[in-house]
Chain A
Amino acid sequence: MGSPLPIEVRGLLRTFGDLTAVDGIDLIVEAGEVFGFLGPNGAGKSTTVRMLTTLLQPTAGIAKVAGYDVVADANKVRQSIGVALQDAAIDPLMTGTELLHLQAVLHGIKRRSVADRSAEMLERVGLTDAGDRRVGTYSGGMRRRLDLALSLIHRPTVLFLDEPTTGLDPTSRQAVWEEVRALNNDGTTVFLTTQYLEEADELAGRVAIIDGGKIVRDGTPGQLKRAVGAPTLRVDVDAAQVEIARAALTAFGDERPAKVNRVAIGLEDGAPVMTEVLRSLDAAGVVVHHLELDEPSLDDVFAEATGRRLEGASDAVADSPAR
């Protein structure tokens, strides 16, 4: 008997009145993957996550998580998943330990294991000393780590992280990333949505981009970047030599927009032909002041796929549809 896929989605559709938030998507996440799910606000990202985490019923289509149908076997799904939602929804009046105990009971963990398991989780995310403080006194980074601990208390096989580092400072972000990597090394499959392309690049083995409710790109970050096209080569020269440089360079690819005294092209065959490019410039007598070769980033992939840029989208707005 084949083991079930952590996430398997076929033709998943969700409408809110006239609005189609998720328009018949297919997705497969393999065991042990960190899967990055990207999309601009309102693209259907959160709606998809809500359906996969049993918070919202699909209008049509099939979604299976850990082999269980999210509608028919919702409770089985809930037992198998850990969920850390966007805004680190934590009651500020409770202490970290109290919240972990509550979460443990909600997941049906046996009474005698509750305290041990809570302590273990606090330890794991480095909050042992803060366990008896009210969550209201925690910093943003501490909240996220507690959030992570809460979502892990029942040792889920599939972990959903909805924008786990939005609004965090770089140090706290690093800490969360470390923890996600460690979890993944232990065999936990991670479904990650993020506003930060850097984060997806850093963590995800595979990425899907959703826009207008449809999956518009799907693959490893490397594949997606290569698909965007050639890297950009920029060469700075004297004003008098711009035309000569242009003539020499356009032999290697189409010209791209550039600032004054600079020529930019899409270098079709990439880095391997750089020696040739330099030789040709030299032959034309061009004096190069500065030169750079830029590989496409995930940001370029995103921009090409959705027509929008995400960089620095730090003040993330929830993309849950109006209800």
Chain B
Amino acid sequence: MTAIASGPVLGGLLRRSVLRLRRMPSVLVPALVMPLFFLVSYSGSFDGLTNVEGYGTDNIVNWMVAWSLMMAASFSGSGASGVIGTDIDTGFLDRLLMAPSDRWVVLAGPLLYSMVRAAISTTLVLIAAALLGADFPGGVLGLLSTYVGCAGMALAIGCLGSWVMLVMRDVQAQALVQLMIFGGTFLSIGQVPVDFMTGWLKVVARYNPVTFVLRLIRQGFLGPVAWDTTWPGLVALAGMTVLFGGLALRTLYRYES
């Protein structure tokens, strides 16, 4: 049923998103302010955590930066759903859906865009972390692991956000996506290792997929890259992407009904 090749359409949609970014680079700012603020304030405020036995690092920045990166990547992902939400609001989505191209392309454009944005914000947060005195014993592989984790997180959250947007059909639902991001990252190992926790949080954080992704993003800051840390993170990312992406696609293909 494909009437025209998807590749050029995808390219066109990605270009459109990136053009927006180039013409309005300020859209990056709100998505970066909060992660950077938390990086600085949490590193400054919770320095004493490193005194506790078993924290895993004696430099608080090494720990907190992963959470900040994760948040920045997630906001990049919700940027994708912002694009879709705006398109729904303006009716541009209808135009896209009437075009004789494959539907998944409509989602893929903004998702690719969110990964591009994640790469930019990851770089900026890494620079901030370096200025705050973060260590990076993980080398090139560690850096790769961080970038892959962040891009993957942007993709997964982009899928989640797009799904929410397509279901709610309201750009205001962006607030709901932010809330989910916040909940997901807050109830994980953002600030302390699982062993520090007690009660329900320990259980939630241990099995929260975000925890595995955080380990993937964080490993380069704590030591050399280990496969044991890497694969669970990749699986968590793949799982979230397949789940939310599938739901988003399903909703998109049934958009008219």
Direct contact of A and B (CB under 8 A): no
Question: Which residues of A approach B to under 8 Å, CB–CB?
Answer: none
